[in-house]
């Protein structure tokens, strides 16, 4: 069993500074921190942000942050990050040592901010960092890699050993940086993500098999990549395939 609310805290100053520096290479007008806990990262971010908004679910920890940083440009929202509108403060850098039990929904929520997101720097489970930053043909490349890389440049910056946390989790961690890229509008992206989900539905199956439920066979049989698996295609190639299938479906409708 993991800790309730994923509470593994980091106090190693050099690592905390590196995370804050990756999030704020220069002073930032607004930073949103997810899950400040006892405030180690909060202190480093507060030195680089004019305004720091923290979102913490645990009432005792939220109270601790208020007591330690109140009146120093640090605000505390006590609540669930998955229920909090992260766009309400305007364009922001988002940062946090994430509670691992909800890493994917947090990343999805943060990427859905679109242009309101300046960049995101997160400490996540190492395996998740590897999946997020993976390239085609590698073991870790899959839906998560495509869903993130379709919206952001994804970099793995450093690995953090489990022993650096109190209490230590069962797995090592890694810091990732996500820098949004201009792309599709919200509804186009939603359509693309559904398509990418279909492509990777059964990872070892060919695109022809995975897409058969959604597209007629006479369209699929003409695709040069029909016999390939989604994991062999780059994000750009999956986007291009989506466009061609959309056009072919519309032409046939």
- Name the residues that contact ligand SAM, by CB under 6 A: 5-10, 35-38, 40-41, 55-58, 61, 80-82, 97, 99, 102
| Nearest residue (CB) to ligand SAM, 60 versus 185 | 60
Comparison of 5 and 21: residue with beta carbon closer to ligand SAM: 5
The first and second tokens of residue 84, run together, are 């909090």
- C-beta closer to ligand SAM: residue 77 or 223: 77
Closest contact distance (angstroms) between CB of 38 and ligand SAM is 6
Q: How far is the CB of 156 from ligand SAM (least distance, A)?
A: 18
- Minimum Å gap between C-beta 101 and ligand SAM is 7
Cα 89 from chain centroid? Answer: 19
3-class DSSP assignment, residue 172: coil
Q: Is 124 helix (H, G, I), strand (E, B) or coil?
A: strand
Q: Which residue is nearest to ligand SAM (CB)?
A: 35
Q: Give the residue with the Cβ less far from ligand SAM, 38 or 197.
A: 38
- Residue 154 pairs in a beta bridge with 178
222 HSE (CA, 13 A, CB side): 8
Q: Minimum distance from CB of 140 to ligand SAM (Å)?
A: 22
Q: Tell me the Ramachandran region of residue 76: left when phi exceeds 0, alpha when psi lies from -120 to 50, beta otherwise.
A: beta
From the CB of 49, what's the least distance to ligand SAM, in Å?
Answer: 15
| Residue 9 vs 89, nearer CB to ligand SAM | 9
d(CA 52, CA 94): 10
d(CA 153, CA 33): 20
């Amino acid at each position: 069993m993991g800790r309730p609310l994923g509470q593994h805290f980091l106090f190693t100053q050099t690592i905390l500074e590196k995370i804050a520096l990756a999030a704020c290479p220069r002073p930032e007008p607004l930073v949103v921190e997810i899950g400040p806990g006892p405030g180690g990262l909060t202190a480093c971010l507060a030195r680089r942000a004019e305004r720091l908004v923290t979102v913490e679910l645990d009432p005792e920890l939220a109270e601790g942050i208020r007591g330690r940083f109140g009146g120093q440009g640090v605000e505390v929202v006590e609540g669930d990050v998955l229920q909090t509108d992260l766009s309400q403060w305007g364009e922001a850098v988002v940062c946090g040592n994430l509670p691992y039990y909800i890493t994917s929904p947090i990343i999805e929520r943060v990427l859905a901010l679109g242009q309101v997101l300046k960049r995101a720097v997160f400490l996540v489970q190492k395996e998740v960092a590897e999946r997020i930053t993976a390239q085609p043909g590698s073991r870790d490349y899959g839906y998560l890699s495509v869903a993130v890389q379709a919206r952001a440049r994804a970099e793995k910056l450093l690995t953090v050993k489990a022993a650096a946390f109190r209490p230590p989790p069962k797995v090592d961690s890694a810091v990732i940086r996500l820098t949004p890229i201009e792309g599709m509008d919200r509804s186009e992206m939603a359509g693309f993500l559904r398509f990418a989900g279909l492509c990777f539905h059964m990872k070892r199956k060919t695109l022809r098999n995975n897409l058969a439920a959604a597209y007629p066979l006479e369209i699929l049989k003409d695709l040069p990549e029909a016999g390939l698996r989604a994991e062999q295609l780059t994000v750009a190639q999956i986007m291009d395939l989506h466009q061609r299938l959309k056009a072919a479906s519309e032409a046939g409708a």
